[in-house]
């Protein structure tokens, strides 16, 4: 079986188990999604969804957020971890959006990646989920699963993203990235993983993870 054939088979399993995939981070628009994704770094989506209503009650747009003191933002987002860095980034990117983009979140990957606290993965999530542009955001979880399933060699996140983009049709990237996340959480977790019980690993898992 070629990697392309394996990818098609895995995509069929993902579609069977997760035909509908809601965006896990609650948001109202591109800006609130951007902030939520930034907060999700080294934090669970569930925790972010508990924190963002309190933050967005104070400021749900870059104009209001830029007026808040960094310390006020930090106090609200502390449960998400890394609050000193994240609060500063949220404040600074909000100011940049107001001064340079009329308060609008840019739809361009390069422009997004120039914003404080916004890396390639965060920018990919925003362009795919907020603007519907084809992107394949790869975090450590998708990176791990791609290796387990023999779709990438696991050298680094960038290489994994390149490999997955070659294996799957561009039109499927946005949904597939979410399907992999949901599937991984339920059937192929980082800890307590039972490969012979996982619907994908038991069929297509690397030999070394099956022992």
Q: How far apart are CA 14 and CA 148, in angstroms?
A: 15
Which DSSP state fits 150?
T
From the list 60, 74, 121, 163, the catalytic residue is 121
Our answer to whether residue 60 is catalytic in this structure is no
Distance CA 36, CA 39 (A): 5
Instruction: Give the whole-angstrom CA distance, residue 141 versus residue 42.
Output: 11
Residue with the two structure tokens 């979880």: 141
Structure token pair of residue 46 = 């569930």
What's the CA gap between 28 and 47, in Å, rounded?
17
Tokens representing 41 are 């770094």
Distance CA 34, CA 179 (A): 20
* Alpha carbon of residue 193 to chain centroid: 22
- Single out the catalytic residue among 139, 163, 166, 175: 139
DSSP code of residue 120: H
Number of Cα atoms under 13 Å in the Cβ half of residue 92: 13
Is residue 166 among the annotated active site residues? no
Record the tokens describing residue 135, joined without a space.
Answer: 């992107």
Active site residues: 121, 139
């Amino acid at each position: 079986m070629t990697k392309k054939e394996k990818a098609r088979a895995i995509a069929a399993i993902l579609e069977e188990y997760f035909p509908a995939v809601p965006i896990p981070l609650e948001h109202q628009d591109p800006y609130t999604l951007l902030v939520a994704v930034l907060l999700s770094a080294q934090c669970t989506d569930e925790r972010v969804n508990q924190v963002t209503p309190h933050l967005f009650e104070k400021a749900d747009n870059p104009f209001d957020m830029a007026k808040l003191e960094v310390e006020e933002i930090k106090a609200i987002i502390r449960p998400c971890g890394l609050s000193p860095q994240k609060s500063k980034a949220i404040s600074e990117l909000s100011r940049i959006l107001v001064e340079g983009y009329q308060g609008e979140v840019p739809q361009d990957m390069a422009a997004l990646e120039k914003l404080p606290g916004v890396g390639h993965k965060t920018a990919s999530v925003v362009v795919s989920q907020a603007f519907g542009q084809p992107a394949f955001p790869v975090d450590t979880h998708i990176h791990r699963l791609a290796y387990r399933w023999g779709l990438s060699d696991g050298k680094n996140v960038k290489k994994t993203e390149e490999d997955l983009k070659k294996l799957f049709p561009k039109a499927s990237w946005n949904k597939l990235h979410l399907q992999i996340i949901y599937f991984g959480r339920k059937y192929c977790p980082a800890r307590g993983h039972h490969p012979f019980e996982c619907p994908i690993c038991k069929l297509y898992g690397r030999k070394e993870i099956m022992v």
